[in-house]
Chain A
Amino acid sequence: AQKITQTQPGMFVQEKEAVTLDCTYDTSDPSYGLFWYKQPSSGEMIFLIYQGSYDQQNATEGRYSLNFQKARKSANLVISASQLGDSAMYFCALTTSGNTGKLIFGQGTTLQVKP
């Protein structure tokens, strides 16, 4: 069975500091991908970053980076230099080559950035 686990329901971070949001996954498919999405209070789902299981390097997109540890089945999102606009819900999601491209989401982590 495929599963995504986000164990931090809520996180606080001081503005300009870095924060790590945890995500662990479970799949028996050797070929898979991991996504992170941001959901602000307005409700839309904003794509942040993608990591493929065969990617040699950790993904980075601006202030977002992914700490991918394949042996531990973890794909933690690191946000550097937090901004007030980063306050939102963050979802980790899994897709595998054996399915139709559907995403399996974790429960999400609410991040609040303090001024």
Chain B
Amino acid sequence: EPEVTQTPSHQVTQMGQEVILRCVPISNHLYFYWYRQILGQKVEFLVSFYNNEISEKSEIFDDQFSVERPDGSNFTLKIRSTKLEDSAMYFCASRRASYGTDTQYFGPGTRLTVL
């Protein structure tokens, strides 16, 4: 069964450093998302991406964040200068259509720890 994959599973970085989180969505999916979950809290939407551009972003997704689909398979989230409060689990998700019964499938997540 196809699945969304994410690397690395855990990333530790120093405050102020840049990190890139990588995702490989399911191959025939067209809509891609990043969410984050601070420990013990709910899952929060960061950004949606379709047709090689951002279609929607939340207020969390400020200028420190960027997304890219550099080739036909990878989907990346870059945090330019990490802060302590960026420590969270980051989930990538994809779906075939933006609405309807198509399920949004999540990757296993990347746990980011900022020291």
Contact = CB atoms under 8 A, between A and B. Distances in A.
A56 interface: no
A47 B98 contact: no
Given A33-B99, A100-B31, A100-B50, A105 B105 contact: no
Interface residues of A, number: 26
Interface string A68-101: 0000000000000000000000010101110111
Interface string A13-56: 00000000000000000010101010000011111001010000
A91 B42 contact: yes
Nearest to A96: B99
Contacts of B43: 45, 91, 93, 103, 105
30 contacts: A31-B99, A33-B99, A33-B100, A43-B108, A44-B107, A44-B109, A45-B43, A45-B93, A46-B106, A47-B104, A50-B103, A93-B43, A95-B104, A96-B99, A99-B56, A99-B98, A100-B50, A100-B56, A101-B33, A101-B95, A102-B33, A102-B48, A103-B35, A103-B45, A103-B104, A105-B43, A105-B44, A107-B41, A107-B42, A108-B42
Which 7 pairs of residues, A with B, have the shortest CB-CB distance? A101-B98, A45-B106, A100-B48, A100-B55, A100-B56, A105-B43, A102-B45
